[in-house]
A and B are shown apart, each in its own frame.
Chain A
Amino acid sequence: MHGKASKELQKEVIDKGLCTLCGGCTGTCPYLVVYDGRIVRLHRCDMSEGQCYHYCPRTYMDMDAISRHIFGAPYGEGEIGSVREVFLARSTDQVIHQKAQDGGIVTTLLSVALAEGMIDGAVETKLDEEKNPHGFIARNREELLECAGVSYEPSPVIQAINRLPNETTEKLGFVGLPCHVACLSKMKLSPPTNRANIEHLEPVIGLFCGWTLSHSFHRFLQEHFDLAKAIKFDIPHHPEHSFDVYTPSGKESVDLDEISPYINKACGYCFDMTAEFADISVGSGRAMFKGWNTVILRTKVGAEILDIAKGRNAIEIQPIPDESLANLKRASLDKKKRALKNIISMTGGVDDLLYLGISQHLKEMLLE
């Protein structure tokens, strides 16, 4: 075992600026809380083995072990993780389309799963009045719709899972960013104690992510917009270069360059753009396929839900053009290379890759 807990979490993750604020370490114990965009240690915990440290996606991730557990094979060397199928998809549900960021696939898949009784609800991110994101358990279609759309700020959504009563038998789907999915993948590999049964959490739907914006961005938003009126946030793809806030009266934009100083430093050390340990990963169709989602199907669980959604005509599908797939792979590979570079520059050597437990071969390949 690692022999580490919250003190080491602070030293090795938080103080080093690696924390993605996923909420994996909070909600289950009285020592760690999310407050004002930070993980705060309230009291001294002297556990020798803390789950906070263990499940943090920025402490050691044995990629092979996790991959074996989820996919039955060691961690591969592809750019976008373990893949069964990649395609473009969008919802056929117009209500969902109105709320959704791109093709509405996430909300649609969960709606279908809920309607079919495959899940009792889903752990999602919801914005409060002030548009602060937080974990939320949606248990009906209305609540699922309330969670549609994107927040660009980090959401400690795992906290909502940690807070579930131990004895709960609810089956819940999950939607989160790659860091959330990474945290869950560690939990699935060695299930936590004194918390809800992690096996009840599926499907895990991952969202593509380049980076999130730090909590200080929220203050920027508060200063520039009437957040209570905001309906949706968007960063449209190239060639556009703006951050858009949609309100009932229309769209307001700021130049993307104004936003970039608020990008979470921690995201620079993230290796994963496509939520590689999810059952299904979903991203935007980008400029070429506006209103569509790019979907990566990774597991049998994911396939079951997709099949049902297809069977009910809840979604429509088209193949992804080679060029789009290549772009996706290149973007994902770029993120890996950038993360590796940043990690090495922090540790000062290729032997210490912080949390990243990848094979020597993959490391060498990425460093070339």
Chain B
Amino acid sequence: MAHIEIDAPGTTQLLLGNEAIARGALEAGIGFATAYPGTPSSEIMGTLAPIAKKMGIYAEWSINEMVAFEAASAASLSNIRALSSMKANGVNVIADFLVNLQMTGIRKGLVLVVCDDPGGMTSSNEQDTRPIAKWLNIPMLEPSTAQECKDMTKRAFELSEELGMVCMVRSVTYLSHTRGNVRFGRLPENKKVAHFDDFYNIDDPRQSRYTCGMQFHPYKQSEELLKRFAKAPEKCENSPFNSYRGPEIPELLIISSGICWTYAIEAVSILGLQDRVGILKLGTTWPLPEGLVARYLNKSDKVLCIEEIEPFVERSVMELAASLPPDQPRPTFYGKRSGHVRAWGEQNLNLAIQSIASVMDIPYTSRQSQDLEYRRAAQAVAQTLPARPLTFCPGCPHRASFWAIKIALQLDGRNGFVTGDIGCTAMGMISPGSFQVRTYYAMGGGVGVAGGFGHLGQFGFQQPVIAVCGDSTFFHASIPGLINGVWNQSNFTLAILDNSATAMTGFQPHPGTGITATGDPGKKVSIEALCRSLGIHVEICDPFDLNTTIATLLTMMRDEGPAQVVILRRECELVRERKEKRNPFRVYVNPERCIGESCGCNRLCTRVFSCPGLVWDRDAGKAVIDEAVCVGCGLCADVCPRGAIVKEAL
């Protein structure tokens, strides 16, 4: 939607944080960008990919984060600035490579953008990437606004080259997904030439500097790493991204970074404490600008750190305080450790106000408590409003798949269960998927865990296990687990819910789609051919053919043999709808046949099947189709026990 590629220096555009990061990469003159989709990071590649060819950039949706980051490193080693972006969980996937890449260092700027998800609104957890930067001695920049997203990304490339190591930029959901004014800078006119210089030279036979261990003892490489990193603090010391706002001698010093800084600024203003409270904003959260922080620690005897997820800045500042000269007075630290800042979930303005008010020991009267009468009326209304929980989209093939899986497991009757995986299929763990997913951890975790369950037979374990993953997740991390299960003869069924899209994150392509990030044709990788090459039993079912799907699952579960695969294939409804722009069926309820709540149905369609396209008309005591929501998939007609739901082909 936004045009990040326009060459209009000095103009102001409204950009998402993620779009601004992409623009920053353009202004830094990147030649290479890779990513794996993951909320809230996906729009970075989503913005770069469509303009990549025009801008002379190679852009790739990779099969997973590890491969993405490895590929970006290759560009860096060959003198091309490279960007890799991912969500926080992705850093776990690349950790092994990252640790070792730090041992050798890099050549041209390499920036790893990580989007954390405080609160885990669209994630399985709310992990914080900053401790990883500290653990691995990686410089970490934390923007607070869309403008800084752009500026810091650009700066990160310079810093990466100055220090000879990868540099990280950390965003969070509320920054990545917030649009703000961004003033554009120049786009560089650089001619990029790639060459890997450390190839074998017959006259200088030696170990390449881009290798770890062997002649380069790891401890020596660590020493080199620390030397390189030792230059980082002074770079941070003078960074324009660190700033102070407030009185010369504040009663309270707030140290904040990232999006939390905007909460701190507004909270101080709402509390009217601008003359009493100072705010030190850290844009470089690792390493700390120690001199700068120490100077401000000296000015106040109260320090409050406001940040999200880990008390990262808080602990780092306390470490610094411990190393201050003995005659310097120690401030009292407030934050997550003291309980003045909520230690979990995302922060917000209200929480920041509460934190500051409690440390300053001042009362705060919210606007809400001023308008008491209004608030009472509002609360009364709020109580009548039904919540809007997550559900599968109307027409979603996963609704059918989990319906079939549930019935198959019930029929099988041996307390079988589903091990789940990341993506839209994860909704199998809540009501739209009939709570079928019973374990859920990480990309590829479903099949890996299933492989273990499938070996418990010798301990009396007789429960059938169905591992479920989506198509993108299959390619990302499920293949090794499947091969391991086949090799070691583990007894489980892998159901690949192939909707031909990385749907949860916005329909990015993957190897099974045969389309690349830039929309070019790639080699389409066949899931079934790949699985069959393992010499195992592979079936393909349309989940909308409920009876065949149920029968196939039952047969596979009963089979005592090693791992088997069933591909439940039907295109994501949102993708189909975009392509076809019309519904396959006209679906309606024949009220004569609908017995509603009576014994014999008890509203199976609206109460159990729960497609949002079906609505319960309480007054009539019948189900009706909501035509604004129904996409005409017709599955409910097959579920209705009374033939009351009619589907007519269009």
- Least Cβ distance of A344 to chain B in Å? 30
- Are B602's CB and A46's CB within 8 A? yes
Which one of A29, A50, A51, A195 lies within 8 Å of B641 (CB-CB)?
Answer: A29
Using A42-B407, A44-B608 as known contacts, say yes or no to A31 and B595 having CB atoms under 8 A apart.
Answer: no
Using A33-B411, A40-B410, A40-B411 as known contacts, say yes or no to A47 and B604 having CB atoms under 8 A apart.
Answer: no
Binary CB contact string for chain B from 324 to 338 against chain A (1 if under 8 A, 0 otherwise): 000000000000000
- Least Cβ distance of B482 to chain A in Å? 29
Which one of B411, B434, B598, B604 lies within 8 Å of A30 (CB-CB)?
Answer: B604
B601 within 8 A of A: yes
The chain A residue with its CB closest to the CB of B411 is: A35
- Are B641's CB and A42's CB within 8 A? no
- Are B599's CB and A193's CB within 8 A? yes
**CB neighbours of A29 from chain B (8 A):** 599-602, 641
- Are A43's CB and B600's CB within 8 A? no
- Are A194's CB and B413's CB within 8 A? no
State in angstroms the CA–CA spacing of A50 and B600 once bound together.
Answer: 9
Interface members, chain A 37-58 (any B CB < 8 Å)? 38, 40-47, 49-52
B130 within 8 A of A: no
State in angstroms the CA–CA spacing of A51 and B601 once bound together.
Answer: 11
- Are A51's CB and B407's CB within 8 A? no
**CB neighbours of B413 from chain A (8 A):** 35-36, 38, 40
The listed residue with most B CB atoms (<10 A of its CB), out of A29, A47, A194, A195, is A29
How extensive is the interface on chain B, given as a class? 10 to 19
State in angstroms the CA–CA spacing of A193 and B600 once bound together.
Answer: 9
**CB neighbours of A50 from chain B (8 A):** 599
- Are A45's CB and B602's CB within 8 A? yes
**CB neighbours of A195 from chain B (8 A):** 600
A28 within 8 A of B: yes
Which one of A5, A46, A193 lies within 8 Å of B598 (CB-CB)?
Answer: A193
**How many inter-chain residue pairs (CB < 8 Å) link A and B?**
52
- Are B411's CB and A47's CB within 8 A? no
How extensive is the interface on chain A, given as a class? 20 to 34
B406 within 8 A of A: yes
Interface members, chain B 595-636 (any A CB < 8 Å)? 595, 598-602, 604, 607-608
- Are B604's CB and A51's CB within 8 A? no
- Are B604's CB and A43's CB within 8 A? yes
State in angstroms the CA–CA spacing of A46 and B600 once bound together.
Answer: 12
- Are B608's CB and A41's CB within 8 A? no
State in angstroms the CA–CA spacing of A194 and B593 once bound together.
Answer: 10
Q: For chain A, what secondary structure do more than half of its interface residues adopt (helix, strand, loop), or is it mixed?
A: loop
- Are A43's CB and B608's CB within 8 A? yes
Binary CB contact string for chain A from 11 to 41 against chain B (1 if under 8 A, 0 otherwise): 0000000000000000011110101101011
The chain A residue with its CB closest to the CB of B609 is: A43
State in angstroms the CA–CA spacing of A50 and B595 once bound together.
Answer: 14
- Least Cβ distance of A24 to chain B in Å? 13
Interface members, chain A 195-243 (any B CB < 8 Å)? 195
- Are A41's CB and B599's CB within 8 A? no
- Are B641's CB and A30's CB within 8 A? yes
The chain A residue with its CB closest to the CB of B607 is: A46
- Least Cβ distance of A54 to chain B in Å? 9
- Least Cβ distance of B591 to chain A in Å? 15
Binary CB contact string for chain B from 392 to 412 against chain A (1 if under 8 A, 0 otherwise): 000000000000001100110
- Are B602's CB and A41's CB within 8 A? no
- Are A47's CB and B602's CB within 8 A? yes
State in angstroms the CA–CA spacing of A60 and B359 once bound together.
Answer: 67
- Least Cβ distance of A132 to chain B in Å? 15
- Are B411's CB and A36's CB within 8 A? yes
- Least Cβ distance of A285 to chain B in Å? 40
State in angstroms the CA–CA spacing of A49 and B599 once bound together.
Answer: 8
**CB neighbours of A35 from chain B (8 A):** 411, 413
**CB neighbours of B434 from chain A (8 A):** 43
Binary CB contact string for chain A from 114 to 138 against chain B (1 if under 8 A, 0 otherwise): 0000000000000000000000000
**CB neighbours of A46 from chain B (8 A):** 602, 607
The listed residue with most B CB atoms (<10 A of its CB), out of A42, A46, A194, is A42
**CB neighbours of B607 from chain A (8 A):** 46
- Are A47's CB and B410's CB within 8 A? no
- Are A47's CB and B599's CB within 8 A? yes
- Least Cβ distance of B440 to chain A in Å? 21
State in angstroms the CA–CA spacing of A355 and B607 once bound together.
Answer: 31
- Least Cβ distance of B269 to chain A in Å? 52
- Least Cβ distance of A13 to chain B in Å? 16
**CB neighbours of A33 from chain B (8 A):** 411
- Least Cβ distance of B415 to chain A in Å? 13
State in angstroms the CA–CA spacing of A40 and B409 once bound together.
Answer: 10
- Least Cβ distance of A30 to chain B in Å? 4
**CB neighbours of B598 from chain A (8 A):** 193-194
- Least Cβ distance of A274 to chain B in Å? 31
- Are A42's CB and B406's CB within 8 A? yes
**CB neighbours of A51 from chain B (8 A):** 599-600
The chain A residue with its CB closest to the CB of B640 is: A30
- Are B410's CB and A42's CB within 8 A? yes
- Are A28's CB and B604's CB within 8 A? no
**CB neighbours of A45 from chain B (8 A):** 602
- Least Cβ distance of A71 to chain B in Å? 28
- Least Cβ distance of A4 to chain B in Å? 12
Which one of A5, A30, A41, A49 lies within 8 Å of B601 (CB-CB)?
Answer: A30
State in angstroms the CA–CA spacing of A38 and B413 once bound together.
Answer: 9
The chain A residue with its CB closest to the CB of B601 is: A29
State in angstroms the CA–CA spacing of A46 and B410 once bound together.
Answer: 17
State in angstroms the CA–CA spacing of A33 and B406 once bound together.
Answer: 14
Binary CB contact string for chain B from 408 to 446 against chain A (1 if under 8 A, 0 otherwise): 001101000000000000000000001000000000000
The chain A residue with its CB closest to the CB of B599 is: A51
**CB neighbours of A28 from chain B (8 A):** 599-600
The chain B residue with its CB closest to the CB of A52 is: B599
**CB neighbours of B410 from chain A (8 A):** 40-42
**CB neighbours of B595 from chain A (8 A):** 194
With contacts A29-B600, A43-B406, A193-B599 known, what are 8 further pairs, Cβ within 8 A? Answer: A31-B602, A36-B411, A40-B411, A42-B407, A46-B602, A47-B602, A50-B599, A193-B600
Contact residues of B with A, CB < 8 Å?
406-407, 410-411, 413, 434, 595, 598-602, 604, 607-608, 639, 641
The 7 closest A-B CB pairs, nearest first, are: A30-B641, A194-B600, A35-B411, A51-B599, A43-B608, A29-B600, A42-B410
24 contacts between A and B (CB under 8 A): A28-B600, A29-B601, A29-B641, A30-B601, A30-B604, A30-B639, A31-B602, A33-B411, A35-B413, A36-B413, A40-B410, A41-B410, A42-B407, A42-B410, A43-B604, A44-B608, A46-B607, A47-B599, A51-B599, A51-B600, A193-B598, A193-B599, A194-B599, A195-B600
